[in-house]
Amino acid sequence: MPSPFLKRLHWLLLGGFIASTANAVDYPLPPSGTDVIGEVKVVYAKKEETLLDIARTHSLGYDEIVHANPGVDRWAPGEKTPIVLPSRFILPDTPREGIVLNIAEMRVYYYPAAGAGGERVVHTYPVSIGRMDWKTPMGLTKVVAKDVDPAWRPPASIKAEHAKEGDILPDVVPGGPDNPLGRFAMRLGVPGYLIHGTNKPFGIGMRVTHGCVRMYPEDIE
């Protein structure tokens, strides 16, 4: 019987995921029974930085950094303003393999296979998930394909939603900088759902998608 925590996870994805190491946040995998990784840190804002710039630099999402810094202007924190980085995480109560999406936390945990020396790590990334009226589905699935510069074929429901606001979507949005899927996408065994990049990275860490899982471009790469 799945634990109550597992029931709150919308996806446990097994295999097929290659993490970029350029901006990856990884931690040594703690022994069984130890679930806490990372630590809370404080940095100081630079003059030109927004709170969302700082979040992206430190692999945090919108809600995470805004909630950790009440009263701080998200668009102009101010030079040398102390910014709390909520980078202490509790590993989900699931098998430590493949990809685990904690829907409530809006965060992915990726457990790659052990390295040549037997050491294991866990990578974690902030993500965007489905809106309350377009919920990310629950289930156990896998990555079935990976696409570079994917074309987006908006379904009729999304086209109708945009049309109500005067935004007429084409049948196909070709791959490129204006494509909402970003440059990379992983297609899942659940038809119509993907893990993909974005052309609007400031929305990472929010409930803003139509059910797909959205990542920073550098994380999905």
Write the Ramachandran bin of 205: left for phi over 0, alpha for psi from -120 to 50, otherwise beta: left
Contact 211, 136 (CB under 8 A): yes
- The whole-angstrom separation of Cα 151 and Cα 196 is 12
User: Beta-carbon neighbour count of residue 163 at 10 Å?
Assistant: 11
Tokens of 161: 């939603």
| Per CATH, domain 4-39+87-220 is 2.40.440.10 | yes
pTM of the model: 0.86
Residue 210 phi, psi (nearest 5): -95, 25
Per-residue confidence (pLDDT) for residue 87, from 0 to 100? 97
Whole-angstrom Cα distance, residue 158 to residue 39?
40
Let me know if 212 is a catalytic residue.
Answer: yes
Catalytic residue among 58, 123, 210, 212: 212
DSSP 9-74: --EEE-S-----SSS--EEEPPPTT--EEE--EEEE--TT--HHHHHHHTT--HHHHHHHSTTS-S
Confidence (pLDDT) at 158 = 86
Q: Which of 10, 58, 123, 196 is catalytic?
A: 196
CA–CA separation, 99 and 215 (whole Å): 14
Q: Say what percent of the chain tops pLDDT 90.
A: 68
**Lookup result for tokens 């987006």:** 152
Any idea which of 1-15, 122-136, 189-203 has the lowest mean pLDDT?
1-15
